Amino acid sequence: MDILLVEDYQHTRKTIAYGLNSRLPESNIYEADNGLAALNFVKAGNSPDVILMDISMPVMNGIDAAKAIKEILPQTKIIMLTSFNEEDKVLNSFNAGANAYCLKNIKIDELVNVIASVLHGAIWIDPSIAQFILHVLNTESTISVKQPQPAEQFDLTAREKDILKLVALGKSNKDIADELVLSIHTVKNHLKNILQKLSVEDRTQAAILAIKENLV
């Protein structure tokens, strides 16, 4: 597994890299000290499986870098790893394509678990900022949908609601398949239908919209 660690403070970057190397010895850990350096790393032909991205950095911030990188490597998982817990930073990160949002006080073992989760298709938001997300979602739409609709018009089946609830909890397709005793193929088909009905582009947007519209 190739991991790109993007962090402008060298001490912080080296500390995280050391922790990852000790727990993921077979992984390759690459480093960049700002968003533009990360983008250039990708433009040079590198395709990291996971990017750990700080937000506040010189030259190019992490949110802009995440958006630009996702346009080149949509399958790469991006985990925001930052000290910021402001609502706008969280939502802007997910709108830029982030798959997870972690605060820097996360323990290295938990960070390794988050990496494994996003690689299996899950989303993850630090529990300490979950209330911020809920507050925003209960007051104002923060994701782009093609045509916002009343909840009753989404026309989700009972099974689709079951799956959407698990998606909102950050479960991967495999986790959902195991819990509902379905094949992964069936889960993927249901998820495709859910995205179409909600008029969103990915499971992260589906999870956020599900919470906002009280669909789960």
Determine, yes or no, domain membership for 137: no
Angle subtended at Cα 185 by Cα 180 and Cα 189, rounded to the nearest 5 degrees = 90
Residues 182, 186, 192, 194, Cα dihedral to 10°: -40
- Radius of gyration for the alpha carbons in the chain, expressed in angstroms and rounded: 17
pTM of the entire structure?
0.68
Question: Which amino acid, residue 69?
Answer: I
Which of 61, 78, 64, 165 has its CA nearest to residue 115? 78
Residues 83 and 150 in one domain: no
Domains contained in the chain, number: 2
Pair 153, 96 in one domain: no
Q: How far apart are CA 148 and CA 213, in angstroms?
A: 10
Q: Domain range for residue 107?
A: 2-131
Q: Is residue 24 part of a domain?
A: yes
Which of 98, 131, 164 is where one domain is finished?
131
Residues 63 and 31 reside in one and the same domain: yes
CA gap 145, 111 in Å, rounded:
30
**Helix 130-137 to helix 203-212 angle, to the nearest 10 degrees?**
70
- The structure tokens listed for 148 are 């916002």
User: Strand runs (DSSP E) across the chain, as ranges?
Assistant: 2-6, 28-32, 50-53, 77-82, 100-103, 124-125
The reply to whether 79 and 152 lie within a common domain is: no
Which of 76, 104, 131 represents a domain boundary (last residue)? 131
pLDDT by 10s per residue, the chain, length 216:
999 999 999 999 999 999 999 999 999 999 999 999 999 999 999 999 999 999 999 999 999 999 999 999 999 999 999 888 777 788 888 889 898 889 999 999 999 999 998 898 777 888 777 656 655 555 544 444 444 444 456 788 989 989 988 887 778 899 999 999 999 999 999 999 998 888 777 777 787 777 666 676
